[in-house]
Amino acid sequence: MKEIDLMSIKGFKIGHYSDFEVATGCTVIICDKMCPAGVDIRGGGPASRESQLLNPLMAAGEINGVLLSGGSAFGLDAAGGVLEYLSENGIGLDVGGIRVPLVPESCIFDLGVGRGDVRPDKAAGRKACENASYDSVVRGNVGAGTGASVGKCCGMERAMKSGVGTFAVEVGDLKVGAIVVVNAIGDIFEDGKAIAGLINEAGDGISSSFNQILKWQELRSKANTIADIPNENSRANTTIGAIITNAKFDKSMLCKIAGMAHNGYGRAINPVHSMMDGDSIYALSVGDVNSDVNTVGMLAAYVMEKAIIDGVKQAKPAYGLKAYEDFN
């Protein structure tokens, strides 16, 4: 197994739109041709559009791309710009001479960073498409990761900056890669060590979101309602990403691969998949290489874990939030 650049998988372009002033943006994956795709949504609060297309029971067998965006539910408007751009360029499902692009979208909640009243819109989605290229992906504070953060269970004053991360590998002629926008309520781990997340009260290291949430349970015996426990009902989260492989699968098997990729979330993020997150993973097949779904699913979890770590390490301090480099 060898580490490779994500874009060496080929068959797609990636483009960012970043509004650094207000701390939001979006990231689009545009496939060279319509490709099979699946999705697995584990978080309790997803903001998504057209994700039901990828249900194996639905008619659509292929899509044109995926959009990852900031702006929470407001950011779903950005897909309109992607559809307009692709349609104008003759890209989409041919329906009686009209091209209808099929582009599922998921959003992170970044409204608590920068300005919450400015979110990705149609113009932002179009700009991301115009910026799409086959070049190596810019990571960190960019695109949908511009306003991303982690470790938010005690509020933004103790959270850390995160962003977009990628990672990819090849085994023989098989290639599997991941792109992810890291925006978790939990902490981020590498080899069992927390590398980002809830900053301790002294401000000089990483505390434990897991232990903090356990303290809330102790408080329940004294509190009248859950609402009496500060910040527990925070939903300012959601980690979203995509697995891209040159292996040939239909969307039912790609849904399985997306599900297995969530093991990468489980290894790198704690806590994860809560009702305070909207964690979602897409899986796209952009090639014709023969492989086994178990092998690709195993690699999907591996590259997703590494991409999450990359998204934290590539992030820079911004918007009053410290980053990985401040503690290493």
pLDDT tens-digit map of 50-84: 999 999 999 999 999 999 999 999 999 999 999 99
> In angstroms, rounded to a whole number, what is the distance separating the alpha carbons of residues 162 and 183?
7
Percentage of the chain exceeding pLDDT 90: 85
According to DSSP, the residues that pair with 136 across neighbouring strands are: none
Number of continuous H segments (helices) and E segments (strands) in the chain: 5, 18
Q: Contact 68/26 with Cβ under 8 angstroms?
A: yes
**What's the CA angle centered on 59, arms 53 and 62, to 5 degrees?**
65
Written as one string, the DSSP assignment of 83-112 is: HHHHHHTT-SEEETTEEE----EEE---TT
User: 78-96 as b/e, with b when 16 or more CB fall inside 10 Å?
Assistant: bbbbbbbbbeeeebbeeee
For the chain, the 3-state helix, strand and coil shares in percent, each to the nearest 5, are 30, 30, 40
What would the CATH number be for the domain defined by 2-327?
3.60.70.12
Residue by residue, pLDDT tens for the chain (328 residues) are 999 999 999 999 999 999 999 999 999 999 999 999 999 999 888 899 999 999 999 999 999 999 999 999 999 999 999 999 999 999 999 888 889 999 999 999 999 999 999 999 999 999 999 999 999 999 999 999 999 999 999 989 999 999 999 999 999 999 999 999 999 999 999 999 999 999 999 999 999 999 998 887 777 777 665 555 555 445 578 999 999 999 999 999 999 999 999 999 999 999 999 887 889 999 999 999 999 999 999 999 999 999 999 999 999 999 999 999 999 9
Q: Where are the domains of the chain?
A: 2-327
Task: Provide the whole-model pTM.
Answer: 0.95
Residues 255-312 pLDDT 10s: 999 999 999 999 999 999 988 788 999 999 999 999 999 999 999 999 999 999 999 9
249: CB partners within 8 A, 6+ apart: 36, 257, 285, 293, 296
